[in-house]
Each structure stands twice: as structure tokens, then as C-alpha cells.
Structure 1
Amino acid sequence: MTTGGSKGSGSRPDHPLERLIFFSDAVFAIAITLLIIDVHAPHVPLGSPDHAYIRALLDLAPSLFGFFVSFFVIGAFWAGHHRAFALAGHYSDILNGPNLMMLCSVVFMPFTTSFMSHNIGTLVPTQVYNLSLVATGLLNIRLVRIVTSPPVVSEAVSAERIAIVRARGPAVVLGALCAMLVAFWDPRFSQMALITIPLWLRLLRVWAMRRFAAAHP
């Protein structure tokens, strides 16, 4: 069932669509905030020497590393969600299920981050984290395709813009797959492979533009 409705004044989207976007933003904000809850400030006895404080901070390095990696990964998912829904012009009930599934996967990430951070350098926790990224990425690709297709997408959006936005989706999946491969070699360096995500974004954007140009000479 699709609720076309009026777009209100100007280019304002349907009210149910705005509510869905506001709800999604709130879930992203909660998920990204939950990441820091697992990082507890170290308790060092008063009067301890400076090196004791430094040692306590170094002991937090795995948790801090997991926090920063997941913070920017969730941030990338939020940016992609924002970018896709900026192209939406109408609300449809078909959005609810895929959007909730993607958000559920995002909210699960603080758990997988904690699991990995407390077992840094071990294969299973590292791969559980990577698998959660792949799952979230695939759910995000599905959601973006729905948002950028009728009856949701705005009629004013160009086909080129849709192609570029869709092409960005696989970047996190490809980065996570690289991390999975590295984990089988050495789990300690797995998350370093996630720095390839910006590279995948650039390559996918170039590929999408060239593909569009070839299809629309």
C-alpha cells in the first residue's frame, strides 16, 4: 500500500516520510552513543605515579580503537541513509520493514564492537564484527534501492543522481569483506582494512559515472 499524499508547500516531503526519517536519525544517534558506554574511564589510586595513568590508558586502547572504528562506520551508514532519503519525495509502507531491519543491524553494532574490543586479535569475535558490517551493508543497499525507486523517489531526481547514490552502497560491504580476508591471515590487523572504504567509495562513484555515461551517450 502506498500513501502518495500531498507534498505540502514547495518540495516538502510527505509527513509520514518525515517521521520515518526523524525516527531513523534518533536510532542512529542512540547506536552511536552506545558505543562509548562500554569504554569506562580507568580508576587509578590517588597519588599513583604518572606512568600508572599512562598504563591505564594504554589498557583501554582496544576499546578506544573499536569505538572510533565503529563510530565512523555507523556515521557512514547514517550519511548514506541521509543521502538516499534526500532523494525521496513520497512515503510508502514498503519502506518500514527494510528500514527497521537496517536500523536493527546498526543498533546491534555496539555489541559486536564490544565483543571484538574485549577479545582483540582473536578470529571469531573479529569475524562476528565483520559479518555484522556485511549484513548492515547489504540491508542498506536494499533500502537505498527502494528509496531511489518509484513510488518513493522524487520525480525531480535525475537518473544520474540515482545511479551515483546507489553505487556508493557496496563500499562498506567491500571494505568489510577485505577485513574478513585479512582476519584469516591475522585478526590483529583486520580492522585496518576498513580504511579501504573511502577508496571503494571513490572507485564506485567513478564506475557509476562511467556506466551512466555509456548508457546515456
Structure 2
Amino acid sequence: MNKNRVEAFSDGVFAIAATLVIVEIRLPMSGDVWTSLWAQRAQLLAFGLSFLIVTMYWIAHHVFFDFIARTDRTLLWLNNLGLTLISFLPFPTMVLGTHPLDPAAICLYGSTLILVNLFNLLLWRHVAAHDHLHKPELTPELAGRVSRIHMAPVALYALAILLAFRTPQLSLLCVGAVPVFFILASPKLDKHKL
């Protein structure tokens, strides 16, 4: 299958997931708008966090596909399994927005993000291990560096899950640190071509 078709399908899934994370936010129908917005602050924060995270994964996916020369069946299935988790993300977002300090909600959200990262890592390693799938610029050193980059969020999400039962607020800060790390690290990664 042509790599451009895979990218187009992936872009569509990311766009739909980014749109669906807002579904649970309700328009203020009567009364004070500020009061209504304040009452939905957890949902609004969950939306903002999830939109940033979907955007982060979309950018990483785009950069990843710049290294791909061609696709194979395994790449297609790994990509689609990862996209399944991206399309599932609006559900844990709704749960987290409704129950922001509930350890189960944080565990569901964090576990989903761990799985997204692990599928991205499997996809990356599959491509890196098969020279015919990637462009020559993907060196073993670069492949190793990107693998480590994929594991950093897994560690933070796992820490968030562990902290959820003791200090849910700190747990949520760990999850929120991932997009901040990505945004701050992006210029450095761009300078070094990852």
C-alpha cells in the first residue's frame, strides 16, 4: 500500500479523535456563563490535556513517516492498532473529565497512553529493523534515540498510575508533564534531526 494512503488515513483518525475529546463539554444554557464554565473546569482541563496529547502524537507520527520509504503488512497493522488507541482516547478523556481525582479514571487514562506509546515504539522498531522500509537517514543511533524518547512518557504515565492512589493531583501533573516535555524538547530535537 502506498505510504501516502496510510498517512492520509492516520491524519483522519487523529483529526476525529482531536474533535471527539470536546464532546462532553456542554454549552451554558442559562444562568451565569462563568459559573457554568467553572462547573465544567475538569472537563475543560481534560479536553485541553487530551487535545495536546493527540496533537503531540500526530506530530510524532508525521515525523516518523518522514523516515518511511515503503510499507508492509506488519507496519499497516501496528499503525492501525496504535490508531485504535488514539480513537479510544476520547472515552478515557470523558471519564477523567467527569471523575478527575478518581484513581480508576487516572489509571484508565494513563494505561491508554502507555499502550499508545508502546504501539508507537513497536512500529518504530519494526521499521528500524527492516532496511527496505526506511530511508537511509534512519541510522541505528537515531533509531535508539527515538526508542528512548518513546519510553520517557511511558515512565511518566506509569508513575502517574502509581501516584493516583495516594496523590491524584500529583498524578495528573505527571500526565500533564508529557506534552510540556514534548513541546520544550521539540526545538532541540529539530536541530538534531531527532
TM-score by length of 1: 0.77
User: Does 2:5 align with 1:25?
Assistant: no
Amino acid paired to 1:160: E
Give me the whole-angstrom Cα distance separating, in 2, the residues matched to 1:129 and 1:67. 12
Give me the whole-angstrom Cα distance separating, in 2, the residues matched to 1:84 and 1:71. 20
* Among 192, 196, 200, the residue aligned to 2:177: 196
Q: CA contact under 8 A between 2:75 and 2:123: conserved in structure 1?
A: yes
Alignment of 1:172-211 (within 5 A): 172-197=153-178, 198-199=180-181
Segments of structure 1 that go 5 or more residues without pairing to the other structure are 1-14, 46-51, 210-217
Give me the whole-angstrom Cα distance separating, in 2, the residues matched to 1:94 and 1:170. 21
Q: 1:28 to 1:94 in 2, by over 3 A?
A: same
Q: 1:157 to 1:140 in 2, by over 3 A?
A: closer
Per mean C-alpha deviation after superposition, the further-off stretch among 93-102 and 141-150 is 141-150
* Among 132, 135, 147, the residue aligned to 2:112: 132
Q: Which string of whole-angstrom CA distances, capped at 9 and with x for unpartnered residues, describes residues 169-199 of structure 1? A: 1122122112112212122442111243254
* Among 136, 142, 165, the residue aligned to 2:146: 165
Segments of structure 2 that go 5 or more residues without pairing to the other structure are none
Q: Which string of whole-angstrom CA distances, capped at 9 and with x for unpartnered residues, describes residues 83-130 of structure 1? A: 111111122122111111100011111001101111121111121111
Aligned to 1:40: 26
Give me the whole-angstrom Cα distance separating, in 2, the residues matched to 1:195 and 1:34. 19
Alignment of 1:38-187 (within 5 A): 38-45=24-31, 52-150=32-130, 151-187=132-168
Q: Which has the larger radius of gyration?
A: 1
RMSD: 2.3
Amino acid paired to 1:68: G
Q: 1:147 to 1:25 in 2, by over 3 A?
A: farther
Per mean C-alpha deviation after superposition, the further-off stretch among 85-94 and 25-34 is 85-94
TM-score by length of 2: 0.85
Give me the whole-angstrom Cα distance separating, in 1, the residues matched to 2:34 and 2:181. 35
Q: CA contact under 8 A between 1:122 and 1:188: conserved in structure 2?
A: no
